[in-house]
Amino acid sequence: MDKFIPLSVPNFEGNERKYVDDAVEQGWVSTGGAYITKLETNLADYLGTPKVAACQSGTAALHLALIECGIMPGDMVIVPTLTFIAAVNPVHYQFAQPVFMDCDDSLCMDPVKLRRFCETECFLKEEQLIHKSSGKLVKAVIVVHVFGNLADMETIMEIAEQYHLKVIEDATEALGTYYTEGRYKGKFAGTIGDFGAYSFNGNKIITTGGGGAVTGRKEKEIQHIQYLSTQAKDDVHYYIHHEVGYNYRMTNVQAALGVAQMEELEEFIRRKNSNYRLYSELLETFNKGRMLTFRPGTRSNCWFYAVELDQVNRQEDLHRIISALQEKGIQSRAIWGLIHEQKPYQSALTFEIEKAVEYSRCVINLPCSTQITEDEICYVVEQLKEICVR
Ligand SMILES: *Cc1c(COP(=O)(O)O)cnc(C)c1O
């Protein structure tokens, strides 16, 4: 058989089949059932938060968080441009306006520019941040922990407190990442801001096929999110509704997968960390680029490995390398195209975007499944070195 090393595939080595069979056997396959509650409890215990709401997707989790923040049509929400577009689309679902922000060398939002935007482009009036030139309210910031790397939450929270911004952490890639030092020592990605969203899509660190979750500081708000996610149904029998709801709740079959995956999460993180170290060692002698690192003072879940390539300044160069790897049976991918350059967002507001442009041209992701072997990692690095010398 030809060699094929996938970028990122799910790992079902645990109780997945057992729990899914159980859910099917019991007939609880839809948006009610014990596995949903169990997954929510397990996540809340793991994260150390009062409550978690399980959703159909990470995107739904982010949308519900924005609704709970009170984001209304015409409001502004500060978002990163270098990330997956699902982090931004929910802003549009609320008919609010994204303001695109640059990244720093962690690939996460640049807090220096975030502060500068608030300081120079906005003013505070009665504890509300107002965008000078449009007069619109700037209500929230969505911070993405890119590839499992914590954004600089210490600085971002300071800014958010000063300017009365709600903070939604998009921790869809960062379940299991936490601070080991500093003001937020012991705090997980997604538990520091007002809300944190997780995703259990097929390529994430744990998967329910499709799925997500949202947590937050206030139990009441997460309870309300659960209510909104189940069509805002007020009672069991009479179909009384006081609000517009959504069909966003996770199903019991998905949750059965999730409960099994949670049992393995720490083992997955252990493997991701050890494979990351091996890649880093092997790439130390690579003179055409470097492995991007995770923030010091944190334990990262090391979800995705990113290599910054030298002398790759155009998308064509990056695609040539990706195709060459593909021919060797190695699946890799380019980092995302910038969101503010995508058709739906081309007329949106941007602020001093520079670094994101550079990184979007020269970063590739290498295979990172938990099942990858040491031999396969050596092979990937060998091939990458060879291709980049050519
Ligand atoms: C995966 C992902 C999402 C969306 O999660 P889904 O479960 O696929 O809806 C949002 N933001 C980022 C940064 C992601 O990587």
316-353 tens-digit pLDDT? 889 999 999 999 999 999 999 999 999 999 999 999 99
Which of 142, 173, 250 to mutate for ligand 1's pocket (most ligand atoms within 8 Å of CB)?
A: 173
Neighbours of 257 (CB within 10 A): 27
Distance (Å) from CA 201 to ligand 1 centroid: 7
Residues forming a β-bridge with 129: 124
Which of 201, 207, 251, 303 to mutate for ligand 1's pocket (most ligand atoms within 8 Å of CB)?
A: 201
Domains of the chain: 16-262 (3.40.640.10), 265-388 (3.90.1150.10)
Atom of ligand 1 minimally distant from the CA of 61 = 9
* Residue 237: per-residue pLDDT: 84
* Residue 314: per-residue pLDDT: 77
Distance (Å) from CA 198 to ligand 1 centroid: 8
Distance (Å) from CA 196 to ligand 1 centroid: 12
Distance (Å) from CA 83 to ligand 1 centroid: 9
Distance (Å) from CA 84 to ligand 1 centroid: 7
Pocket lining: 201 vs ligand 1, CB cutoff 6 Å? yes
Pocket lining: 87 vs ligand 1, CB cutoff 6 Å? yes
Distance, CA of 127 to CA of 66 (rounded, Å): 19
Atom of ligand 1 minimally distant from the CA of 173 = 15
Residues in the chain with pLDDT < 50? none
Pocket lining: 58 vs ligand 1, CB cutoff 6 Å? yes
Pocket lining: 84 vs ligand 1, CB cutoff 6 Å? yes
Give the relative orientation of helices 252-283 and 34-47 as an angle to the nearest 10 degrees.
40
* Residue 262: per-residue pLDDT: 98
Distance (Å) from CA 26 to ligand 1 centroid: 30
Pocket lining: 173 vs ligand 1, CB cutoff 6 Å? yes
Pocket lining: 169 vs ligand 1, CB cutoff 6 Å? no
Distance, CA of 314 to CA of 40 (rounded, Å): 44
CA 89 to chain centre: 13
Residue tagged 């519900």 (tokens): 64
- The string of DSSP letters for 198-252 reads EE--TTSSS--SS-EEEEES-HHHHHHHHHHHBTT--SSSS---SS---B-BPPH
> Is the CA virtual torsion 390, 147, 203, 14 positive or negative?
positive
Distance (Å) from CA 40 to ligand 1 centroid: 19
Nearest-CA residue for atom 6 of ligand 1 = 58
Three-state SS sequence of 26-76 = HCCCCCCCHHHHHHHHHHHHHHCCCCEEEECCHHHHHHHHHHHCCCCCCCE
Q: Which two tokens stand for residue 390?
A: 């050519």
Helix ranges (H only) for the chain are: 16-26, 34-47, 58-68, 89-93, 111-116, 153-163, 219-229, 252-283, 315-327, 355-362, 374-389
Nearest-CA residue for atom 13 of ligand 1 = 84
Nearest-CA residue for atom 5 of ligand 1 = 58
Write the burial class of residue 290 (CB in 10 Å: 0-12 exposed, 13-18 middle, 19+ buried).
middle
Distance, CA of 36 to CA of 92 (rounded, Å): 29
Encoded amino acid at 56, one letter:
Q
Pocket lining: 31 vs ligand 1, CB cutoff 6 Å? no
Nearest-CA residue for atom 2 of ligand 1 = 172
Which of 91, 199, 257, 301 to mutate for ligand 1's pocket (most ligand atoms within 8 Å of CB)?
A: 199
